[in-house]
Structure 1
Amino acid sequence: MNKHNISTFLLTFYLYIFFFILLSNTSSGAHYQYESCVPKNCGHGPNVSFPFYVPGLQESYCGYPGYELTCEDKFPVLKLPENDYVVDDIFYENRSLRVYNAAVLRSEGKECPSRIRNTTFLPSQFDYVNSTPLHLVSSCREPLPDELTRYIVSCGSPEHGKNLTLALYDKDENLTNIAMEKCEENIVTPVEEYINKGMVSDLEGLLRKGFLMKWTAIDCSVCENSGGRCGFNPTSHLFRCFCRDRPHAVSCKPGKLLILV
């Protein structure tokens, strides 16, 4: 074999290898939106996927409008109009999540977390599950009645009423009969409901336990069960199922055709 034939053979061989690799990558590569919407983690806490998304880690089309999370100290945080909540766990199978007030995370071990704001409502995309209102009452006038001293949660002392914080459950008769008359500040925050509501011995522990919320975004299970990853088209305002080949309306598996005779 002369040099010309060898050169032609080698060129043909290399071109064959090049196109083989190119075609292999093309056939095996997944759609970019499918790849973009892989579940991500802030470092601690649950993996984040539809309807939630984390800007900087995921594209906005990987989630549903109003379900943006941010990473704070490696924890996922849900920012609502009145308070920020650390997402402790997400239960995708029943579309619920356990959260606790981010003031607990930011309090650095203080027994009375600051920056808890009044919680009067949730946005339309969320709803409470088995929670009860806890009243954190402060700025109380002296002297503090004996009936209220048992509600003190280790903030200040009875001699300095304005530094006191009292914790009372919503149905406690002393809340409306005495505390609301003696104290000026009243912050309401949800906590997990339980049958025997007595005095609060560990406020930080109670707040850290958090409570459950359900979300109202569209169900993702049909898409996920077909091997897809759920998302949202902000232009058409429609749910999308991102599959390895391309986006689909609902599922990666084509539905059965109904043949009318």
Structure 2
Amino acid sequence: MASSTIFFFSFYLSLSLHVSADNSNDICPATSCQHGGPEIRFPFRLRDVQPDRCGYPGFDLSCNNRSQAILQLPNLQDFVVSLINYDQQYIVLKYPSNCLAKRLQNQTFSSSLFVAQEYGSFTFTDCPDKFLPNFGMSPVDCLSDEHHKVLLCDANDPGALYLPILGCRTWNVSVPVSRQLLMDITERVSLKWDRPDCRSCEKRGGWCGLSGSTGSQVGCFSKHGLSKSEAKYTILRAVLAPLLLCMFGITCYLSSHARLSGHPDRPRQPPNGNDGENNVADILSPSSPVTRTRRTSNGAVGLDSLAIESYPKVQVGDDGRVPRPNDNICAICLSEYQPKEMLRTIPKCGHYFHAQCIDQWLGRNASCPMCRNKKGNV
């Protein structure tokens, strides 16, 4: 039974450790560079603040000295992160000097991770300051000065056709745009990412995160740390564990009861004492025998009085000498034999006891108290 208990709890402990190991990469808490700034969480991570496993490769952000979240795109300067939309997976960027138009003139914003939702074609024009009319075009103040005025319009705007005639220098650029998020492209642009794809997880109210201690496999987690599948498994464990423990206890009880039932003649051990007659009287109650063997109220099989009286008796001598000099204590009442006391012997094994002790014993148990498991019944 002890070995079964050890095995059961070892198995349950190993199962618990296995589940705990699966949960070792719970979602990292969200953070930000400043209060009210964009929330930074997977696939983004704050470099030097959050562990590498908190973000997806290539999505590292940092905080500048103005507590702004900064993203560095390949082959481009740093950009300030104005907004991160995790549901639709797009990010809004602006230039630290608030002159994004300066970066737009020769950049396409293409990278391996962030791409434009779509591109729009725009025309920049640089005209002498004497041409004050802007033909409905938008002035770009951060690129203009007292000698030049820089304007911006859609490349298909008819007014752009007359600008070269007026001595203006023009050039076209391709700029990331988003029809769902209209904005001034001289201030902000929007880029999206497709991998890792966490949109379905976000719609279910979860957060994405890396699964396991290595690799780049992405899983969906509940906001308090466990993935949906792991949360279900944890609940299932919480229900099954008490049930298994209960079943295990019932099995142990039934097994123990069956073993006890298989030995109906197991004797009760008498309590220690010096008065053998009183000790036996406390344990055994007399009953009237009917046949050679009889079944007592507790189910044990005993001998009737005629069978008991057929066993030989011997009296202890005046000097206290007993049949076996080294055997001078009754195994039933644990008292030493005294002169003139009457002993009774069990013929089959030769063991002897106080007559009154063994008589009451055999009335309840048809076996020798000392060797019942060695030589069988009397």
TM range (shorter): 0.5 to 0.7
Identify if the C-alpha distance between structure 1 residues 170 and 184 changes in structure 2 by more than 3 Å, giving closer, same or farther. closer
Task: Check the 8 A contact 1:46/1:88 in 2, yes or no.
Answer: yes
**Which residue is 1:80 aligned to?**
73
CA deviations over 1:9-49 (Å, ceiling 9, x no partner): xxxxxxxxxxxxxxxxxxx9x966426x2111111422111
> How has the CA–CA distance of structure 1 residues 235 and 52 changed in structure 2, closer, same or farther, with 3 Å as cutoff?
same
Alignment match, 1:17 = none
1:76 offset after TM fit, Å?
1.6
Q: Describe the shift of the 1:187–1:129 C-alpha distance in structure 2 as closer, same or farther (beyond 3 A).
A: closer
Partner of 1:173: 158
**For residues 192 and 75 of structure 1, what CA distance do their matches in structure 2 show?**
23
Cα gap change, 1:208/1:192 in structure 2, threshold over 3 Å: closer, same or farther?
farther
Residue identity matched to 1:38: P
The 1:251–1:119 alpha-carbon spacing in structure 2 relative to 1, beyond 3 Å, is farther
CA offsets 1:76-130 (integer angstroms, 9 cap, x no match) = 2222233533222222122223x13224xx24xxxx6675242224213223336
* TM-score, with structure 1 as normaliser: 0.57
Match of 1:38 in 2: 29
Equivalent pairs counted in the alignment come to 205
Corresponding position of 2:108: 120
Q: Please, what is the CA RMSD of the aligned residues?
A: 4.6
Q: Do 2:62 and 2:71's aligned partners in 1 also have CA atoms closer than 8 Å? A: yes
Quote the residue 2:215 is aligned against: 236
Which residue pairs with 1:21 in the alignment?
A: none
Assess, with a 3 A threshold, how the Cα gap between structure 1 residues 32 and 136 changes in structure 2: closer, same or farther: farther
> What's the TM-score once normalised by structure 2's chain length?
0.42
Separation (CA, whole Å) in 2 of partners of 1:251 and 1:134: 48
Identity, in percent, stands at 25
Structure 2: 5+ residue stretches without partners:
1-19, 234-378
Contact kept in structure 1, 2:153 and 2:160, CA below 8 Å = yes
**Letter of the 2:29 counterpart:** V
Following the alignment from structure 1 to structure 2, what is the Cα–Cα distance between the partners of residues 88 and 208? 14
Deviation, 1:236, is 3.3
Report the CA distance between 1:230 and its aligned residue. Answer: 0.4
The SS at the match of 1:206 is coil
Confirm or deny that 1:156 pairs with 2:145.
Answer: yes
Query: Residues of 1 paired with 2:107 and 2:197: CA distance?
Result: 27
Write the distance in 2 (CA, Å) between the matches of 1:227 and 1:191: 29
2:353 corresponds to? none
Mean alpha-carbon deviation: is it higher for 37-46 or for 121-130?
Answer: 121-130
Higher relative contact order (CA 8 A, sep 6+): 1
Which has the larger Rg?
Answer: 2
TM-superposed CA distance for 1:190, in Å, is: 4.1
Contact 2:83 2:93 in 1 (8 A): no
TM-superposed deviation, 1:55: 0.5
